[in-house]
Amino acid sequence: MSEETKSPQYSADSIQALEGMEHVRMRPSMYIGDVGTRGLHHLVYEVVDNSIDEAMGGHCDTISVTINEDNSITVQDNGRGIPVGLHKKEGVSALEVVMTKIGAGGKFDKDSYKVSGGLHGVGVSCVNALSEHLKATVHREGKVWEQEYERGKTLYPVKSVGDSDKNGTIVTFHPDKTIFTQTTEYNYDTLANRMRELAYLNKGVTINLTDKRNTDDKGEFVSETFYSEEGLKEFIKFLDETRVPLIQNVIAMEGEKNGIPVEVAMIYNTGFSENLHSYVNNINTHEGGTHLSGFRRGLTSTLKKYADNSGLLDKLKFEISGDDFREGLTAIVSVKVAEPQFEGQTKTKLGNREVTSAVSQAVSEMLTDYLEEHPDDAKQIVEKVKLAAQARHAAAKAREMVQRKNPMGGGGLPGKLSDCSDQDPENCELFLVEGDSAGGTAKMGRDRNFQAILPLRGKILNVEKAMQHKVFENEEIKNIYTALGVTIGTEEDSKALNLEKLRYHKVVIMCDADVDGSHIETLILTFFFRYMRELIEGGHVYIATPPLYLVKKGSKKRYAWNDAERDEIVESMKGGAGIQRYKGLGEMNAEQLWDTTMNPEFRTLRQVSIENATESDRIFSMLMGDEVPPRREFIEKNAVYANIDA
């Protein structure tokens, strides 16, 4: 490849390539999921994935991601550098092919272990198509090579711009504002969470993240380095940091089964929840799939066999179920699959059949060895399983009560619910309100056609610290199940939430704008996250935002949601304005509550979504577990709220 190489603009292939790039611009969501915040960040992951692949091939150990001052992104690696030589079939530089041909990826490099992701793996050419400007710089063969693009269109043929004694690839892109119309501003924490996750999933790779938009107190750019020597073993410790360990060791394995690379790490804690995280080609498979089934199968059969042989369960009067083996278990399963089939609603469920037995075998071998070598730990685990089985029996009874009280089961609606008259769930909203007095105000202020009110007494149960049967026995929680009309168990999954008879499509948490209010909000969110995650995933959960101030002058009244707004209003009233700070919903009258917080025309509802289940899990256990008072800011970062005017 030399500077004279012409870009043959009119060959059939390059026209096809152009069409591919045009298609990405026409239907970006087909390639990156959406064109909101998620899609915007996806661009970074896509570019970083390519560098990670290079690292997995053993050609690269450091990747640096920089958020530039103008919200453009630079990703740099010290790999071999994308080849710049002539690509015979396309008749242009391989670099140009990688950058402008959809699906080109690394396919021409047969030696490298190349797997493609689900939503990822669409290729850096997609990022190029969706960037108003992109510059690729390659250090390779003693030279620095360069090519730039606008909205995916090549500006000039690959050229050499100098000498270099290094190897590597640098990509800087500016997301296209005409595509990402909602925002082109990057969130540091979102990127940091993903880079941390990638560092754990790909041990030995150093990932630097720098934010040139912000400096710390030393005047240096905000920056973090993510590196893991032990991979999943350390990831597990990070996830379980705030839980009390039942056994001191992380049980881990890494290897290949039936040609499938499998990595597993697990630990038991003294808690009651089951936290399984699974990845395929570095992508979090929220909906699980065959690899997770394999993990469960291997775990259950191995522990069952051990427990049976040990005689520790001899006096137990009922069958142990699979769930019992997973109480207090935190585990990560990570597999690499050459041609993954993704299924499920969000395409994050692995479908490849052959993976089940590979993971199951890997787990059996790992665990059998571990139990034999650590009899004390084995005993602790079996004892815990026994307790779980006993508690499950108690929980089953309590859950049955919840089911029987379901309105469809003839048990009737909770007495405290003020229902709405509309019968179409699509139109209906349920407000969960802190305390009876605010509940009363909300009841008077609402539009009873489509708004229902369920007051919750004081602090609802912290489900993070309670055993399952306590949760199902709790009055407030039983009321939530009954009012919503949801049941536990679907045909496919006995523990899944059945939303078929959901009575309200919007469930709005309405709490005071103070410390207690935010604590209660967090408790309710924790309950939804652990017991009704499907409700969040279905986009049904919202947070109401009551105002903080009322600014009054004479008969003029205006509300403010933050200090800046308050000051602005005070100024606009030109002196003599009185300020009332709302400490709670109870200080508002019904009309004020309707005007500011409940009326769909003027209110702001924040929709709760789970951006990163792994991170949310850790945060919820940290906030609601044994330590620290809850801090709303943590939740705000992890359960992402979209401002919507519903």
The catalytic site residues sit at: 434, 512, 514, 516
Residue closer to ligand 0RA by CB (options 62, 321) is 62
Residue from 106, 152, 231, 294 touching ligand 0RA (CB under 6 A): that is 106
Among the listed residues 7, 14, 50, 282, the single contact to ligand 0RA using CB under 6 A: 50
Q: Considering the complex, what minimum distance in angstroms separates the CB of residue 118 from ligand 0RA?
A: 19
CA torsion, ordered 509, 584, 514, 463, to nearest 10 deg:
-40
Give min distance, CB of 61 to ligand 0RA, in A: 12
Beta carbon nearer to ligand 0RA, 105 or 261: 105
Helix (H/G/I), strand (E/B), else coil: 209: strand
- Whether the CB-CB separation of 414 and 454 falls below 8 Å is answered with yes
Residue 387, C-beta contacts closer than 8 angstroms, at least 6 positions apart: 327
For residues 380 and 360, what is the distance between their CA atoms, to the nearest angstrom? 23
From the list 74-82, 191-199, 348-356, 513-521, the region that binds ligand 0RA by CB under 6 A is 74-82
* Residue 139 CB, nearest approach to ligand 0RA (Å): 10
Tell me which stretch binds ligand 0RA (CB under 6 A): 78-86, 212-220, 264-272, 584-592.
78-86
Regarding 132 and contact with ligand 0RA (CB under 6 A), the answer is no
Residue pair 480/452 in contact by the 8 Å Cβ criterion: no
Backbone angles phi, psi at 449, to 5 degrees: -60, -45
Q: What single-letter amino acid sits at 358?
A: A
- Which range, of 75-83, 190-198, 296-304, 502-510, touches ligand 0RA by CB under 6 A? 75-83
**Residue type for 155, please?**
L
**Binds ligand 0RA by CB under 6 A, chosen from 80, 120, 159, 297:** 80
DSSP state letters, 337-365? -SS--EETTTT-EE--THHHHHHHHHHHH
> Among 179, 128, 178, 138, which residue's Cα sits nearest to residue 161?
138
Query: For the chain, what's the residue count?
Result: 646
CB-neighbour burial class of residue 27 (10 A; exposed 0-12, middle 13-18, buried 19+): exposed
54-92 burial: b if 16+ Cβ within 10 Å, else e: bbbbebbebbbbbbeeebbbbbbbbbbbbbbebbeebbb
178 DSSP 8-state letter: T
Minimum gap (Å) between residue 81 Cβ and ligand 0RA: 6
82 part of the interface to ligand 0RA, by CB under 6 A: yes
Residue 336, token pair as written in the block: 């690499």
The CB-of-261 to ligand 0RA minimum distance in angstroms stands at 20
Pairing of strands 541-544, 506-510: parallel
Minimum CB–partner distance for residue 42 and ligand 0RA (Å)? 16
Q: Which stretch binds ligand 0RA (CB under 6 A): 81-89, 190-198, 213-221, 265-273?
A: 81-89
Of the two residues 75 and 509, which places its CB atom closer to ligand 0RA in the complex?
Answer: 75
Residue 82 or 622 having the CB closest to ligand 0RA: 82
For residue 109, state whether it binds ligand 0RA (rule: CB under 6 A). yes
For ligand 0RA, which residue has the nearest CB? 50
Rounded-to-integer distance, Cα 488 and Cα 499, Å: 9
CB of 63 to ligand 0RA, least distance (A): 9
Torsion of CA 447, 438, 539, 198, to 10 degrees: 160
Member of 20, 28, 79, 231 binding ligand 0RA (CB under 6 A): 79
Tokens of 221: 């750019």
Q: How far is the CB of 169 from ligand 0RA (least distance, A)?
A: 4
From the CB of 149, what's the least distance to ligand 0RA, in Å? Answer: 15
Residue 331 phi/psi, 5-degree rounding, is -145, 150
Q: Which of 39, 83, 121, 435 binds ligand 0RA (CB under 6 A)?
A: 83
Binding segment for ligand 0RA (CB under 6 A), chosen from 49-57, 85-93, 154-162, 282-290, is: 49-57
Q: Is 123 in the site for ligand 0RA (CB under 6 A)?
A: no
Please tell me whether residue 409 adopts helix, strand or coil conformation: helix
Among 78, 154, 169, 293, binds ligand 0RA (CB under 6 A): 169
List the one residue from 43, 45, 54, 207 that touches ligand 0RA (CB under 6 A): 54
Which listed residue (46, 77, 176, 512) binds ligand 0RA by CB under 6 A? 77
**Per-residue b/e over 94-121, b at no fewer than 16 CB within 10 Å?**
bbbbbbbbbebbbeebeebeebbbbbbb
Q: Rounded to whole angstroms, how far apart are CA atoms 264 and 292?
A: 11
Question: Interface with ligand 0RA includes 73 (CB under 6 A)?
Answer: no
Residues found near ligand 0RA in the complex (CB under 6 A): 50-51, 54, 77, 79-83, 106, 109, 169
